[in-house]
Copies of this chain bind each other. A is one copy, B any other.
């Protein structure tokens, strides 16, 4: 049940950039790709239906427009903790019963939390769809977790944090980098929350969070699979339709102050075997600037979209300077997008050298631009990838959820192939200059991290950091 929880979106930059991108892009990559339908219930709940009639199955998702970035001061991790509690006691259901029923009916369920959303889903035979809707509606309206279950779940979440972050120096290091980058912005706080704050949750705070954000008019239901909107609508009315709407408060999103100077973090640790650099930069999200966001997607594809693209071909294959090197852009965010540049040098190559070579490849784009052919190839690859997206039942539902909860429209998703084709050679060069040229005085904040193994002479003291 908890495998997928703590969504990788904006949580683990080491993985998330690529995963999110794959989820986002392919699904958007055909003209009127999904032929989705949408309607809104009287209580404000939006329902999106993505028909796919290859097999009698559906993926049913509920996306709440609340995430870690909406948590009150001092209660970091609350959105994710709350996601756990949703599997506890609710109307007519005992703790754990929700998932047991899904399993018994041959399906599977899970949930995950990001900075901007919290999502719950079940994949199951279409004949059980209404039952799933009834159960999700039940916990949307009537969660009722007694204090002892509330407290016991803390141990589960604390253990989750220990395993994923505390016991992994890279985990702590990534948190530190993001905290330093996202100054005065909630994206600098990890989705899972700070250890000290998870420990101090009180039931009244959790209850307040639920009462404030969990409501039909703050959710989107997405159903992908062997159904039509016409079939879904009466079911939605019978289940979710019974829940009263609430007044939803505005989401407070503070602004990152301008910064100058360069920030570099270094971690030496015995658990690190290969040195690596990572450069994390703030870039526009799709909601903030669609045109630039699309151009950044194409730039990513040109630089790092496969074995024949610039970074890999030049630095790994031809010059043999790197074991791996990457450039990824994630624009799926209500507020700020990010660019993540990283590399692991080959033996005999220093981190500084590989970092300079990688930046050199980006400077080439800034100075000389890219070719028409490169843009055409990149767009083609992105469209090709999208062909596969429609094969999946769950994938398109994920894509709609990620995109809509971070500010895209259904039209953006359905018309994505037309949109991505508008990106020109000049656009690609322009966004490289705007968001990556270190001589640009208005460049957004960035941070560089160096991960280093212990030197031979550093000794091997347990838990030592230098």
Contact = CB atoms under 8 A, between A and B. Distances in A.
Interface of A: 72-74, 76, 169, 172-173, 175-176, 179-180, 183-184, 188-189, 194-197, 252, 254-255, 257-269, 438-439, 441, 449, 461, 463-466
A452 to B, nearest CB: 9
B267 A264 contact: no
Given A265-B262, A265-B263, A266-B261, A252 B173 contact: no
B184 A260 contact: no
Contact of A267 (B173, B260, B438, B463): B260
Given A72-B73, A196-B255, A255-B194, A266 B266 contact: no
A46 to B, nearest CB: 28
A260 B76 contact: no
B194 A261 contact: no
A176 B183 contact: yes
A299 to B, nearest CB: 23
B269 A260 contact: yes
4 nearest CB pairs, A to B? A261-B267, A260-B465, A196-B255, A180-B180
Given A194-B257, A465-B441, A466-B439, A263 B180 contact: yes
Chain A interface secondary structure, helix, strand, loop or mixed?
loop
A214 to B, nearest CB: 21
Contacts of A252: 73-74
B194 A184 contact: yes
A265 B180 CA distance: 11
A332 to B, nearest CB: 23
A76 B256 CA distance: 12
18 contacts: A73-B254, A74-B252, A179-B184, A180-B183, A183-B188, A194-B254, A195-B257, A196-B254, A196-B255, A261-B268, A262-B466, A263-B263, A263-B264, A263-B266, A264-B264, A439-B461, A439-B466, A441-B463
A266 B259 CA distance: 11
A251 to B, nearest CB: 11
Nearest to A461: B441
A325 to B, nearest CB: 22
Contacts of A466: 262, 438-439
A466 B184 CA distance: 22
A255 B175 CA distance: 15
